[in-house]
Structure formats: structure tokens, C-alpha cells
Amino acid sequence: MKVERCAVAVVGSGAGGGTVAQALAPLVSQGKRVLVLERGPRFRDKDFTGLELDMAGALYAEEGGFLTADGTMTLAFAQGYGGSTIVYTGTSLVAPERIIRGWSVPGLTHGDVDRRSRKYIAENNVHLMERERLNENNRLFVEGAAQAGFRAEQFPLNLRGCRGSSLCNLGCPNAAKQGTNRVQLPNAERLGVEVVTRAEVLRVGERRLEVLVSPRPADGKGEEPEWEPGHYTIEAETIVLAGGALGTTPLLLRSGLPDLPSRIGAGFTCHPAHILVGEHSRPITNDVGHPKSYFVDRAIQDGYVLETCMYFPFITAKNLTGFGTSHSSLMRAFPRLQMILVLACDKAIPENRITVDRRGKPVVHYRFTDGVIESMVRATRASARIFFAAGAIRVHAPSAEPPILHAEESGQIDTRIDARHFRTGTISITAAHLMGGCGMGRSAADSVTDAWGRLHGRPWLRVADASLFPDALEINPYLTIMALADRVAEGVREDLAG
């Protein structure tokens, strides 16, 4: 067992870990060693092939097939230098004021989250895409939404030199997306932060970590690990956990630290989502251009958000309900498909939580509440209206029976699409916004961490990822994760300054 010592050990290199690494990098010049431990590999530019089978296996945990305990929802999260910022679409929204206020975390204000978010908006080149670069999948959404009475808004995106590959969720093949793998981590490394990839943290102890560094598999993508493969003990003055909701919480649960706050694992939310497609009578540009440029926010009124999207053939096939000839006829219409992602704004409830199995692996318990199902049904009806208003000749709606609605049936949207047809185990539901498990709050009685990410009762141990969210965010979480991680780093600097 090798032993390494450092001032700060950061576990994870995504939106949280990458931000903390960069913010703490100036400490290195003061003689303080900062380590980042990333479970996944450091991918090379040539590794991003854009091939679905190739990339899903390399980037996503369990090849993108991680299921909730009852097997009714797939949870997508990436592992690699940059974490899930490798695979998001770069949509960059600041947390709404009402959400941060609703969290009621003493010492956390929306003003502070907003200020820090804007710092990263500037750093990540967040901007609105030029209209002439939008594809028809997005334009039809805007036109259809306007005609159906919805207000479509354009997503600010963190891109630099986007060529419109449409392959964001498989890792940008053109290094255009400004994730932590492109911005914060390289900045941190230039200032002397050490990033160790293929380094899985097995357990966290009192100011120490047990780490296993694995070699690059013979047929694997990415670089060799920076350290020699083997077991390590890392002794650190401060430890920052930023492995994401399904990294940080399971790590704490399997580590066996005494007197942990009892609410670890509670408050899991994830914005359950599924896709809908509308078929047009002519081919549209859908597999070129940025896939997710617009959204309709109905979170307050109806508990859902609609986003444009365009997925790859297998993911599309998986997400269409059913099988056989009707399913295959939609797949053959691929060049004519318009696609919308519907996301429900779920709320933290006691049943929805993260635990671990006997091997310490994460287990996610999730129950679809009536409220979430109603939100998804309302979202499906809205999407159907948008598709038909945009000129679609038929729409695939998972919570309709049968799931195909033809244009001449558009008057039956409210009756055909109904909550009684929303059957788990039949509809493909996926979530990629994994939040909660180490929620912030006042004390160990109501939460796991404080407003600066400190674990109650253990000031040397902090959390800096979406685990901190006491409840759902209702938007893409990465910018808020960065803002909170920035706060965590500030707290660490103050601690180390004594």
C-alpha cells in the first residue's frame, strides 16, 4: 500500500470537482499539494468517435444502462476526466430565485449563486447560438410552440467552435463543448494540481482515502493512469467529495464512518424524462447542428420542461414505446423525425433515496408519484400540440393508447394521452440530472451538509456536487453545481489559511 499526502484531495472531476480543482490551484504555489482523483479515464481527442456503441460503453456508467432498484428508469452519468460535463449538451441556465429560496438553506442566497454562476458563464463562453446555425428540428419546435401557444426560449450554450456534429451526448468530437475537461481541469493542471485518472476511491476515513488505481484495459479508450496501478492511502487535511449523486453518497454510505448524519441518501431527485417524436412528411435536418437549442419552461404552471433533442438510433429505438412493425416504421422514418424531451420537475419524497448494496454499489429507490406522472402526461400533450402545429403527420406519445396519434386525431390529444396509460416497465424513462443524497441544511437533524458543503460534524469533509441539492433544481444542474463548488473551494481556502 503506497501512501500519498496532500493538503486537499478532491474526489471526482466533473462540474463540481473540476471547479474546486481550478479554484484551489493557486494553493499549489503556496506549497500545498492538491490532488484530484477521477474514477474514469482521461480520454484523448481521437477517442471521441461519435459512434453510439463505442462511446456509450466508454463514457457512461454501466454503458448507460444503470437502472433504478425496480428497473423502471435508466440513470445516465458519465465517468472520465470531466465527469458528466463530457456528455451534457452544454445548456447553461442560472438557478431560478424561487428554487434557491425554496431550499431554505441558512446562509445560501440566490444572489450568491447567481454571482458565481455568472463567473462561469463568462469563463465557459456561454452564449446564444447564431440563428442560421439552428437545424430544422429546433426551428420546428419554435414555430410549433408559438402556434400552440407556448413560449420557446433559446438555451445559452457553452460552446467554442461548434461544428454542429449533433454528437454532444457522446462527447464532442470537436472539443467545442466547454466542460471541465476543456476549461477548469486544464487550467488547474497548468497551475500544478495533480489529476489522477482511473483512480477509484473505495473508502473515506478520518482525513484519509483508500484508492485503487487501475491500469488501462487492453482494448480500452483513454490514457494510462498517471500513477502506477495499485492500492493507495491518501492522507489529506481536507477532502472534497465531488463524484456526483451516485458517487459521493454511496462512497459515504459504504465507508462506515461513525456518526454520519442520518439523512445521507435522502432527497434524491432526477427530473425523470422521456422522448417523443413527431413524423413529418419530408426529411428535416435533425442529425446535424446542436441538438438542444430551445426549451419551453412550464415548471411553475404544470411541473414540466420541454427541450429539443435528437438522439442516436439505438437510444431513439429504446425510447420509442413498443416493438414490432409500428416501432420499426417509426425508425425507418428517422430522417423525418422531430424530437422533444419532456422532463418532469419531481420533488424530494422520503421513498426516493440512494442506498448501497452489499458490495457498496449504489442502489436508487424511486417511486413515480401521481404528481410526476401527471406532469409527464401534461408535457406529452403539450408536445403533441407542438408537433402537430409544426406540421407533423403523426406523433408517438408513450402515454397514449395506442401510442401513435395521426394529424386528423389531433383533437383527441387530451383524451388519448392519459395518466392511466403511463405504465412503468412499458415506457422508457431516463434521467440524467441526478441530485440529492447529501442535501444542505441547518443541522444533522434536517440535512447532511451546511451551506458551504461541510458535512455536519466533520468540517474537514466537504461535498461539492449535485448531492448538495436539497430538492430538484428544475433546470440543467451543471452551472449551479459549479456555483456551489466555487463556494466550497472558498471555504476550503479559508480553512487552510487558518
Partner 1 sequence: MAYVLTSSLRPAFRALATSFVPETDRADAAQWTALEQTIERALAARPPRLRRQIALFVRLLDISARLRHGHSLAALDGFRRTALLERFAASRLLLFRRGVWGLRTLVMLGWYTQPAVILALGYRASAAGWEARP
Please state, in angstroms and as integers, the Cα–Cα distance from residue 331 to each residue in 273, 307, 321, 327, 340, following that order.
20, 21, 12, 7, 16
| Residue 167 is a binding residue for partner 1 (CB under 8 A) | yes
Helices and strands, counts by H and E, the chain: 13, 22
**Integer Cα distance of 437 and 463 in angstroms:** 11
User: Does position 50 bind partner 1 by CB under 8 A?
Assistant: yes
DSSP string, 42-90: ---GGG----HHHHHHHHBGGGGTEE-TTS--EE--B-STTGGGGTS--
Tell me which of 4, 62, 123, 235 binds partner 1, using CB under 8 A. Answer: 62
The one among 65, 111, 149, 402 contacting partner 1 by CB under 8 A: 65
Does 283 help bind partner 1 (rule: CB under 8 A)?
yes
Binding mask 90-109 vs partner 1 (x if CB under 8 A, - otherwise)? --------------------
Q: Examine residue 174 and tell whether it contacts partner 1 (CB under 8 A).
A: yes
Supply the minimum distance, in Å, between the C-beta of residue 71 and partner 1: 5
Q: Which of residues 409-428 bind partner 1 (CB under 8 A)?
A: 423-426, 428
| Angle subtended by helix axes 370-389 and 136-148, to nearest 10 | 100
Stretch that binds partner 1, among 117-125, 156-164, 367-375, 485-493 (CB under 8 A): 156-164
- Closer by beta carbon to partner 1, 31 or else 324: 324
In the complex, the smallest distance separating the C-beta of residue 345 from partner 1, rounded to whole angstroms, is 25
CB of residue 128 to partner 1, shortest distance in Å: 17
Judged by CB under 8 A, the residue of 32, 110, 254, 318 near partner 1 is: 318
Task: In whole angstroms, give the CA distance from residue 455 to residue 467.
Answer: 12
- Please identify which residue in 136, 287, 297, 307 interacts with partner 1, judged by CB under 8 A: 287
Q: Please measure the distance between the N-terminal and C-terminal CA atoms of the chain and give it in whole angstroms.
A: 31
466 Cβ neighbours under 8 A, 6+ residues apart = 15, 16, 244, 245, 433, 434, 435, 436, 473, 477, 480, 481
Is 53 a binding residue for partner 1 by CB under 8 A? The answer is yes
Per CB under 8 A, does 285 bind partner 1? Answer: yes
Kindly state whether residue 173 participates in binding partner 1, applying the rule CB under 8 A.
Answer: yes
Over the range 130-153, which residues count as b (16 or more CB within 10 Å of their CB) and which as e?
eeeebbbbbbbbbbbbeebebebe
Can you read off the three cell numbers belonging to residue 365? 429507490
Q: Which stretch binds partner 1 (CB under 8 A): 69-77, 112-120, 181-189, 391-399?
A: 69-77
The residue type of 133 is R
**Which residues of this protein are in contact with partner 1, per CB under 8 A?**
48, 50, 52-53, 57, 62-63, 65, 70-72, 133, 162-167, 173-174, 283, 285, 287-289, 312-314, 316-318, 322-325, 327-328, 331-332, 334-335, 423-426, 428
